[in-house]
Structure 1
Amino acid sequence: MTSLLIFTDLDGTLLDHHTYSFEPAKSAMLSLKTFAIPCVINTSKTFHELLPLRKALNHLDPFIVENGSAVYIPKALGLDIQEPLEEAGDYWLKAFGPNREELIRMTENQRENFTFQPFSDMSVDQLIKLTGLSQENAKLAMQREFTEPMVWTDSNQALQAFRDYLEPYGVQIQKGGRFSHLMGKECDKANAMLWLKAQYQSQHLDDELITTMALGDGENDIGMLSKADIPVVIRSPVHAPPEVPNRSDAWLTDDYGPKGWAQAINQVLIKHGIL
């Protein structure tokens, strides 16, 4: 017997790249709730950004923030986690790396060597211009805890040099759709997914295996996709689909964004005899 566990990116995947709407995915999301299939958000967004979004989605499952930097588990779920976790209001928190202040201190002396603009230097208006977010959502996006996004305007060669500089400090750079993200070396969507999968597996009988399905559209989703049992690349209207190394079984949706997301979810539910 198997149980499905869904992990999904947001921007360009569950949310439309241009409008941030999830309307085309609503029916498929309802199907997951109906059949009690957890749908874990795995995103570059912050805890504070996700609070209103989770309310709009009626999302009650765990969620992973800032590109795998931390997992928040609602206490109301009653998951029996066999390791110490931090308390964060209504949630248990598992963090995988240093906090944002440490990252800023570590990189501020490199502004003369590389060309980039970190979030900490941006105004709310600048972020709105870059992303199209509302003023309220832009303010929430700037309330980061574990990562420091930046607009990288230097060369790819310089980016590799910056990565080499940060490596001894246990810090990495992951490229997303609009930003490059400074974060701890262990902060990764795949690591967070596998950790949470293990927590769910521990709640099940030995003969009931967890099958993970991951959906994403960007370079920062490749790790998550490569480690999932069912990897799904969501087609993007603005960039070529990322390649998932050594996974000839990765799906590429016909439709873009949330419409493609719903297509993939429905196909898996049919394949597993759920729909």
Structure 2
Amino acid sequence: MTTLLIFTDLDGTLLDHHTYSFKPALAALQSLKTFSIPCIINTSKTFAELASLRKELNHQDAFIVENGSAVYIPKKTPLSIDEQLEDCGDYWRKSFGPKRDELIKLTNDKQDQYTFKRFSDMTYQELMSITGLNSTNAQLAMQREFTEPMVWTDSNLALNALRDDLAPYDVQIQKGGRFAHLMGEHCDKANAMLWLKELYEVQSDDDVITMALGDGENDIGMLSQADIPVVIRSPVHAPPEIPNRCDAWLTDAYGPEGWAQAINLQLTKQGIL
């Protein structure tokens, strides 16, 4: 027997890139609930953003925020946790990197050398115009704890130079669908995924296999470390290449429709559907 864990990106994956709708994935989400298969959100979004979205999705599993910066585990979870975690109300939190204020300080003097605009430099109205988010969701997106997204308008060469500048401070830059994200060196969707997988392995007598679904450059680490990597086709950019993984799936459909196809295919392969 095997225990299947689903790790999913949101924007452009479970949520449509343009409309943020997850309607095409609803039936597949319900299948996961029916068969008690954990569906772990692994996103660049903030804890504040996920509060309302998880209610809409009826999501009750653990979730990973800000590109792997922290894992939130509902206290009602059956997971057995040995290490000391932060107490955050209804959740236990495992964090992997520095707080946002440190990232802002480190880049305050870099704006003379490079062309970028951080969330902390924007109004929420500016973020609305960039993302298409409504005012409520734009304000939630700005409530970050561990990362600082930037609109990067300089060259890729300059981005790599800034990466080199920040490396001695254990800070990295990951590029997502819309933004480049400043974050701690050990903040990574893959690290957070593997940490959670270990928790499930401790309490399961079965083999635990991970299926990861994502569409962006910031999903590459997660996809490369998953047992079943699924690249969701995007309407706005080419699929990311997953190094050394010739077994990665690429969906035919875009966004949540492709997500649902991949989930249904895996459940069929396992004889569940």
In the superposition, the TM-score normalised over structure 1's length comes to 0.99
CA offsets 1:174-197 (integer angstroms, 9 cap, x no match): 000000000000000000000000
Unaligned runs of 5+ in 1: none
Distance (whole Å) between structure 2 residues aligned to residue 77 and residue 150 of structure 1: 34
Which residue of structure 1 aligns with residue 222 of structure 2? Answer: 224
Matched residues in 1 for 2:243 and 2:103: separation? 29
Aligned to 2:237: 239
Paired position in structure 2 for 1:251: 249
- The answer on 1:2 being equivalent to 2:2 is yes
Summarize the alignment of residues 171-182 of structure 1 with structure 2, pairs less than 5 Å apart: 171-182=171-182
Q: Displacement, 1:265?
A: 0.1
Q: Secondary structure at the match of 1:36?
A: coil
Tell me what 1:192 maps to. Answer: 192
- Distance in 1 of aligned mates of 2:237 and 2:204: 39
- Structure 2: distance between partners of 1:172 and 1:87: 27
Shift of 1:82: 1.2
1:32-60 deviations in whole A, cap 9, x for unaligned? 00000000000000000000000000000
Q: Which residue of 2 aligns with 1:267?
A: 265
Aligned residues, how many?
A: 273
> Superposition pairs for residues 126-137 of structure 1, below 5 Å?
126-137=126-137
Distance 2:155 2:231 in 1: 27
What is the identity, as a one-letter code, of the residue corresponding to 1:234? I
CA distance in 2, matches of 1:203, 1:120: 41
Q: After superposition, what is the alpha-carbon deviation per residue over 1:80-100, rounded to whole angstroms, capped at 9, x for unaligned?
A: 111110001100000000000
1:225 counterpart letter in structure 2? L
Counterpart amino acid of 1:213?
M
Residue matched to 2:82: 82
Matching residue's letter, 1:253 = T
Residue 61 of structure 1 corresponds to: 61
In the TM superposition, residue 78 of structure 1 has moved relative to its aligned partner by 3.1
Counting only pairs closer than 5 Å after superposition, residues 121-160 of structure 1 correspond to structure 2 as 121-160=121-160
Once the two structures are TM-superposed, the CA of residue 106 in structure 1 deviates from its matched residue by 1.1
Residue 49 of structure 2 corresponds to 49
Give the unaligned 5+ runs of structure 2: none
Match of 2:211 in 1: 213
1:15: Cα distance to partner? 0.2
The amino acid that maps onto 1:168 is P
**Structure 1 runs of 4+ with >6 Å offset:** none
Classify the secondary structure of the residue corresponding to 1:76: coil
Offset of residue 79 of structure 1: 1.4
- The residue that corresponds to 1:22 in the other structure is 22
**TM-score, normalised with respect to structure 2:** 0.99
Distance in 1, Cα, partners of 2:197 & 2:78: 15
- The correspondence of residues 107-122 of structure 1 with structure 2, limited to 5 A, is 107-122=107-122
State the one-letter code of the partner of 2:211.
M
Superposition RMSD in Å: 0.5
Q: Which string of whole-angstrom CA distances, capped at 9 and with x for unpartnered residues, describes residues 197-234 of structure 1?
A: 001111112xx110000000000000000000000000
Counterpart code for 1:77: T
CA distance in 1: counterparts of 2:196 and 2:178, whole angstroms: 27
SS state of the match for residue 240, structure 2? coil
Code of the residue aligned with 1:93 in structure 2: it is: R
Give the match's secondary structure for 1:183.
strand
